[in-house]
Chain A
């Protein structure tokens, strides 16, 4: 299973790479669909995701910077839109799957899942930081296979996703408001939490993603 982790220039790539390796993947860090450039992590990057079975979009940083960085991956995004590879967006990476975000003024997202990204309510401390329990939504969801209701995952974010279609949500988390913790639609998946930072439970989610990417 070959997995490409997109280097958007700001993310903590090594943890994500390691997490996926623990889940059994052969991982490359990729910083552009064009010529090879020096990655933010040093010399570890290759160019292009052409032979990858799955793509992971990690994410810390701002929505705008993330969208700007993803624009270097047109070919990869086309492969995903055509269903040739599975995509997992993590944290900001999940938010970028949606149509638009309020972060830093209105900003357009990838639109792979319909909906918007809005600021957490004023009633809670922001960022939502730490281990929170998720509630599974009943249905035939794939990333939550084998995950128990109430399992804890590590969250760090200030904005959250509001999908138009509730059927795309496979687990929710509550922090001032109920919001999606895991979304999935076809070959596109997202986790608001960091599976690579969530111990054994996070590893199980990454394994589920790799299983789905094989199909």
Chain B
């Protein structure tokens, strides 16, 4: 049976992990590759790196990290953050990333989806959507790291992204992100039932039960979380044991 995926996310700034996990046996706790390997050992199904570097030396540090990660990791990983167009997509994928996640650049120029998917395949193109509630059954897409509203309906955008060749949706609820109150179940379910590609729920995880709800009630195919893993509240393995006991298929 296809299992639900548990995906830790690492925020990376200039090649260093921000808010990293405090594992004991790491030689270099700020090294994204070491952190990713630690998660792999815990049983993570995939890793997402979110590059938050603002400066212009971004590209080199990212490509170096991607190459080193591809060398060490034996599970898939996605790189997102600051991917500006097809040229960045190509560089990151050829450096060894399995997938790239596009957010602002895809909203501004949706053709980057079909261009990337046409050449590398849909499975490489993840569309990240930052959505904020704007009505009873309406969520609006935000870009530039949640700073700018677009007026675009999140459900419509998810459908358009699928049509243009996206292989997966990484859906973040801006209302719940950082709250630790759980994922936005209604948003997640709405999107998951509107598209025929996998949906990763993100934003709001505070415990393993939140993940169960996003997968069971929200119909997500995967859940992404950062802080509950970083601060050692749960290991990936502990989350999976909880989910398995609750009847959610996971890889152990």
Q: Which residues of A pack against B, CB within 8 Å?
A: 10, 12, 14-15, 18-19, 22, 40-42, 60-62, 125-133, 152, 154-158, 174-175, 194, 196-200, 202-203
Residue of B nearest to A126 (CB): B196
Q: Tell me whether B29 is interfacial, beta carbon within 8 Å.
A: no
Chain A CB within 10 Å, residue with most, of B4, B40, B70, B168: B70
Given A12-B96, A14-B71, A125-B197, CB of A131 within 8 Å of CB of B45:
yes
Residue pairs across A and B with Cβ atoms less than 8 A apart, 27 shown, are: A10-B119, A12-B98, A15-B70, A18-B70, A18-B71, A40-B94, A41-B94, A61-B121, A125-B196, A126-B196, A129-B168, A130-B4, A130-B221, A130-B222, A131-B3, A132-B2, A132-B3, A154-B75, A154-B76, A156-B76, A156-B167, A175-B2, A197-B74, A197-B76, A197-B98, A199-B40, A203-B74
B57-74: which have CB < 8 Å to A?
Answer: 67, 70-72, 74
Q: Cβ of A158: which chain B residues have Cβ within 8 Å of it?
A: 122-123
Q: Is B2 a contact partner of A131 (Cβ separation < 8 A)?
A: yes
Given A18-B70, A61-B120, A156-B123, CB of A130 within 8 Å of CB of B75:
no
Q: Is B5 a contact partner of A131 (Cβ separation < 8 A)?
A: yes
Given A132-B2, A197-B76, A199-B75, CB of A61 within 8 Å of CB of B98:
no
Q: Which residues of B pack against A, CB within 8 Å?
A: 1-5, 40, 45, 67, 70-72, 74-76, 93-98, 119-124, 167-168, 196-198, 221-222, 251
Q: Cβ of B95: which chain A residues have Cβ within 8 Å of it?
A: 14
Measured CA separation A156–B125 after assembly (Å):
12
Measured CA separation A201–B244 after assembly (Å):
20
Measured CA separation A130–B221 after assembly (Å):
9
Q: Is A14 a contact partner of B96 (Cβ separation < 8 A)?
A: yes
Measured CA separation A125–B194 after assembly (Å):
11
Measured CA separation A203–B74 after assembly (Å):
9
Q: Cβ of A128: which chain B residues have Cβ within 8 Å of it?
A: 2
Measured CA separation A126–B198 after assembly (Å):
8
Q: Cβ of B5: which chain A residues have Cβ within 8 Å of it?
A: 130-131
Residue of B nearest to A59 (CB): B121
Measured CA separation A197–B221 after assembly (Å):
19
| Of A15, A18, A41, the contact of B98 (CB 8 Å cutoff) | A15
* Count of A-B contacts judged by CB separation below 8 Å: 96
Measured CA separation A127–B93 after assembly (Å):
18
Q: Is B124 a contact partner of A60 (Cβ separation < 8 A)?
A: yes
Measured CA separation A178–B183 after assembly (Å):
33
Given A125-B198, A152-B3, A156-B123, CB of A131 within 8 Å of CB of B71:
no
Q: Is A62 a contact partner of B121 (Cβ separation < 8 A)?
A: yes
| Of A10, A129, A199, A202, the contact of B167 (CB 8 Å cutoff) | A129
Measured CA separation A157–B2 after assembly (Å):
13
Given A61-B121, A130-B5, A131-B251, CB of A14 within 8 Å of CB of B67:
yes
Q: Cβ of A157: which chain B residues have Cβ within 8 Å of it?
A: 123
In angstroms, how far is the closest chain A Cβ from the Cβ of B176?
Answer: 24
Residue of B nearest to A173 (CB): B2
Q: Cβ of B121: which chain A residues have Cβ within 8 Å of it?
A: 10, 60-62
Chain B CB within 10 Å, residue with most, of A14, A62, A155, A200: A14
Residue of A nearest to B41 (CB): A199
Measured CA separation A48–B241 after assembly (Å):
48
Q: Is B124 a contact partner of A133 (Cβ separation < 8 A)?
A: no
In angstroms, how far is the closest chain A Cβ from the Cβ of B36?
Answer: 13
In angstroms, how far is the closest chain B Cβ from the Cβ of A39?
Answer: 10
Chain A CB within 10 Å, residue with most, of B40, B72, B167, B251: B251
Given A125-B196, A152-B251, A203-B74, CB of A130 within 8 Å of CB of B45:
yes
Measured CA separation A196–B71 after assembly (Å):
11
Q: Cβ of A18: which chain B residues have Cβ within 8 Å of it?
A: 70-72, 74
Residue of B nearest to A203 (CB): B74
